[in-house]
């Protein structure tokens, strides 16, 4: 597989920031923010890959103290331009490091953003760093698609759409099954030319996430098939997974040393296709 040249944590956001809110118009923000506010439970919340603030700003507007981490300055510039965006604290950097101060009652990473950590090592590191920033009763919420490798033919996937008379949108993906990595390009073709938006993700099955959690001293508390808390089944195309700090009596868990020495710190069913819209052109909800 050809790697994206000079791809970094900021590449996706820097390239798509100007059109992100136009392409992704989520319809169920309120429901998701309801869930996030419930888990924040009056405490501090941290969004990994906060982007343009689609969820963080309405959450903050409800009185939740929201902090964000983001690699792309271009995305944060968009957030800052929105109502309430100027005051929202955002740490610029790689969210695998979770380089922020203090503990949170909720850390969340949604719309497949966790998968934008493109190696297993980074993903494991992220889990461990999140665990060290959770309050005792805090949770880590991960929302992502359930992988479906059947969509690849010869490790390639192409999807076209015609949003209007004068443009074509193409989503092109190349799949590396060994590393569970997908490189993708959104192409927007108009009479003015071609705009290209690159991205890369490493997909993970829920079971692998649960192992990462265990390595970090976390355990699965709940998993739903969607934000309406539908049961998670073999038919679920996506999941919302809630992790909590494992009890000290759980001999299977390895709590990070940082934690061991502290008093703990601790709608409708969304289909796979609905959720992968987060990574391709669509005017529908991701
Ligand atoms: C799909 S967007 C989601 C934005 C927002 N969470 C939402 O749901 O609207 C992913 C965001 O994560 C950011 N991102 C990707 N990898 C990152 C990393 N390693 N560290 C920090 N931010 C990252 C991107 O720049 C982008 O803003």
- Kindly tell me if the per-residue pLDDT of 13 is higher than 50: yes
Q: For residue 70, how far is its CA from the centre of ligand 1 (angstroms)?
A: 6
Q: Is any ligand 1 atom within 6 A of the Cβ of residue 286? A: no
Q: Looking at ligand 1, which residue's alpha carbon is closest to its atom 20?
A: 94
Q: For residue 251, how far is its CA from the centre of ligand 1 (angstroms)?
A: 34
Give the C-alpha separation, 27 to 149, whole Å.
27
For 62-77, the pLDDT digits (tens) are: 999 999 999 999 999 9
- CB crowding 9-48: b at 16 or more within 10 Å, else e: bbbbbebbbeebbebbebebeeebbebbbebbeeebbbbb
- Kindly tell me if the per-residue pLDDT of 273 is higher than 80: no
Looking from the CA of residue 116, the nearest atom of ligand 1 is 16
Give the C-alpha separation, 17 to 71, whole Å.
12
Give the C-alpha separation, 22 to 155, whole Å.
29
252 or 93, which is more confident:
93
Q: For residue 158, how far is its CA from the centre of ligand 1 (angstroms)?
A: 23
**CATH classification for the domain delimited by 149-199, as one of 3.30.365.10, 2.60.40.10, 2.20.25.570, 3.40.50.2000:** 2.20.25.570
Residue 3: which pLDDT band, with cuts at 50, 70 and 90?
low
pTM: 0.88
Segments making up each domain of the chain, as ranges: 11-146+204-279, 149-199
Contacts of 230 (CB under 8 A, 6+ apart): 224, 236, 269
CA–CA distances in Å: residue 130 to residues 24, 88, 135, 247: 27, 20, 10, 16
The chain-wide mean pLDDT, for the chain, equals 88
Residue 251: which pLDDT band, with cuts at 50, 70 and 90?
very low
| Domain 11-146+204-279 = CATH 3.40.50.1370 | no
Report the DSSP pairing between strands 44-48 and 104-109.
Answer: parallel
Which helix (H) or strand (E) segment is 241 a member of? strand 238-245
For 181-200, the pLDDT digits (tens) are: 999 999 999 999 999 999 99
C-alpha dihedral (151, 153, 157, 160), degrees to nearest 10: -90
Q: For residue 189, how far is its CA from the centre of ligand 1 (angstroms)?
A: 24
Work out the number of other CB atoms within 10 angstroms of the CB of residue 143: 24
Give the C-alpha separation, 173 to 180, whole Å.
13
Q: For residue 2, how far is its CA from the centre of ligand 1 (angstroms)?
A: 23
Q: Is any ligand 1 atom within 6 A of the Cβ of residue 282? A: no
Q: Is any ligand 1 atom within 6 A of the Cβ of residue 203? A: no
C-alpha dihedral (204, 115, 139, 220), degrees to nearest 10: 0
Q: Mutual orientation of helices 73-80 and 11-23 as an angle, nearest 10°?
A: 40
State residue 268's pLDDT score: 34
Q: Looking at ligand 1, which residue's alpha carbon is closest to its atom 4?
A: 51
- CA triplet 157, 158, 159: central angle to 5 degrees? 125
Give the C-alpha separation, 51 to 74, whole Å.
9
Greatest alpha-carbon span in the chain: 64
Q: What is the mean pLDDT of residues 86-102?
A: 98
**Inter-residue contact 68 to 85 (CB < 8 Å):** no
């Amino acid at each position: 597989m050809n790697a994206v040249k000079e791809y970094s944590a900021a590449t996706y956001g820097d390239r798509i920031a100007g059109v992100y809110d136009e392409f992704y118009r989520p319809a169920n923000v309120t429901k998701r923010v309801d869930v996030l506010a419930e888990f924040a439970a009056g405490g501090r919340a941290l969004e990994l890959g906060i982007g343009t603030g689609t969820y963080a700003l309405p959450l903050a507007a409800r009185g939740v103290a929201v902090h964000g981490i983001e690699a792309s300055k271009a995305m944060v510039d968009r957030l800052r331009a929105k109502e309430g965006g100027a005051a929202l604290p955002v740490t610029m950097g790689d969210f695998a490091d979770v380089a922020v101060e203090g503990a949170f009652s909720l850390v969340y990473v949604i719309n497949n953003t966790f998968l934008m950590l493109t190696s297993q090592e980074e993903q494991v590191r992220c889990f461990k760093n999140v665990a060290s920033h959770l309050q005792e009763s805090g949770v880590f919420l991960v929302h992502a698609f359930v992988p479906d490798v059947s969509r690849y033919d010869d490790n390639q996937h192409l999807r076209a759409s015609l949003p209007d008379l004068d443009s074509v949108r193409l989503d092109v993906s190349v799949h590396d099954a060994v590393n569970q990595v997908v490189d993708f390009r959104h192409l927007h073709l108009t009479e003015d030319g071609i705009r290209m938006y690159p991205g890369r993700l490493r997909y993970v099955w829920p079971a692998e996430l649960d192992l990462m959690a265990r390595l970090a001293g976390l355990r699965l508390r709940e998993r739903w098939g969607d934000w309406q808390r539908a049961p998670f089944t073999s038919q679920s195309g996506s999941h919302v997974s809630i992790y909590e700090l494992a009890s000290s009596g759980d001999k299977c868990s390895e709590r990070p040393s940082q934690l061991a020495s502290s008093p703990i710190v601790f709608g409708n069913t969304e289909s796979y296709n609905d959720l992968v819209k987060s990574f391709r052109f669509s005017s529908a909800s991701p």
